[in-house]
Structure 1
Amino acid sequence: MQRRADTGRTGGPLYTPQERLRRDASPWTTVQAVLAPLQFVVFLASLVLVVRYLATGEGYSAAVISVVTKTLVLYAIMVTGSIWEKAVFGRWLFAPAFYWEDVFSMLVLALHTAYLAALAAGVGGPRQQMLLALAAYAAYVVNAVQFLIKLRTARREAPTPGGRAGEVTA
């Protein structure tokens, strides 16, 4: 396996040629391409329900179900993303190309899990639990932006039919 410096700090290519081939051949790339937008749609729906509950006091059950659903989708994308990283980079997590995204993903995962724990244990009232969900969602937005930046970088680095990188715009 070819070694390279941490691309998150050096500005080097996101993928080596071998990693790009593994990424393109992996079925987990497709799984991630499906789960990421699905998670975003679930997030938007849940955000509306949580904000509605916080603003009006109505729809608590729907808000809870939506946050639990969002968290389950997050778990699915985290597990399959780890499998994807192993297939592409040979590491389950914290591959240099996605190190900071993975670090922040751990915060996102911790906040969503804290919401589930608070809900299950009855810690805090419904309002406090929904505020915890909003904190988890704020972290998720930051993490989603990190991954969108990486996606854009990958597209810019993609070789064109002529074989040169950098000519594809996102």
Structure 2
Amino acid sequence: MDCSPFGAACGRKIERRPQAQPLYTPEQRARRDATPWTVVQGILAPVQFLIFLVSLGLVLRYLVTGDGLATATTSVVVKTIALYTIMITGCIWEQRVFGRYLFAPAFYWEDMFSMLVLALHTGYLASVATGFGDANFQMWLALSAYAAYVVNAAQFVIKLRMARRDAQPAYPHGHAA
């Protein structure tokens, strides 16, 4: 890093970092902005997060006190239904914007990690439905699913920030830096 304001004037070459690829091509951005599935995702994501927060509190309450197993279990089931809903609608959104239901290059790693999140949530449902493991095992499985969900949600928040950054003009006040 050359911090000297006179570096280029005295013969040193200033290396520019290559610009990151934008998240969306102009065509993809237009499709993203035109599809109603973008609004659906924008509504479902915070709703799912609120369900997650309530459910997390109920699961932790059960693990600490031993009280409220039925309520905690119901909350995890509701959270899992919300997850399935956002995943299905997200696949439709991805198809409308990128032309494929999953694993579009712009969201490849987010989709890959989403598969782990889905597997853990589905494993929880299977455990409850079959009686596999005791209640503590099931609640810890729910917590592992929730930990994966938090990582995945963070991935998507980072992508949202990238998309907003890409939408900003390079020189917002009409002059070069």
TM-score of the pair, normalised by structure 1 = 0.88
From 3, 21, 24, the equivalent of 2:33 is 24
SS at match of 1:130: helix
Please name the residue that 1:50 is paired with. 59
Structure possessing the higher radius of gyration over alpha carbons: 2
Q: Distance in 2 between matches of 1:158 and 1:25?
A: 16
Give the 3 Å change call, closer, same or farther, for CA 79–46 of structure 1 in structure 2.
same
- Contact 1:157 / 1:166 at 8 angstroms: preserved in 2? no
Question: What is the rounded CA distance, in whole Å, between the counterparts of 2:118 and 2:104 in structure 1?
Answer: 18
2:145 matches 1:136:
yes
Cα RMSD of the aligned pairs, angstroms, is 1.2
Q: Distance in 1 between matches of 2:156 and 2:35?
A: 18
Unmatched segments (≥5 aa) in structure 1: 1-9
Q: 1:78 aligns with which of 87, 100, 103?
A: 87
Query: Secondary structure in 2 aligned to 1:50?
Result: helix
Give the drift of 1:165.
4.8
Q: Distance in 2 between matches of 1:142 and 1:25?
A: 28
Q: What's the % identity of the aligned pairs?
A: 66
* Cα distance in 1 between the residues matched to 2:72 and 2:171: 44
Structure 2: runs of 5+ lacking an equivalent: 1-18, 173-177
Aligned AA for 2:98? F
Residue of structure 2 equivalent to 1:90: 99
Q: 1:38 aligned to 31, 44, 47, which one? A: 47
More helix by share: 1
1:127 to 136, 147, 157: 136
* Aligned residue-pair number: 154
The superposition leaves residues 68-124 of structure 1 with CA deviations (integer Å, 9 ceiling, x where unpaired) of 000000000000000000000000000000000000000000000000000000000
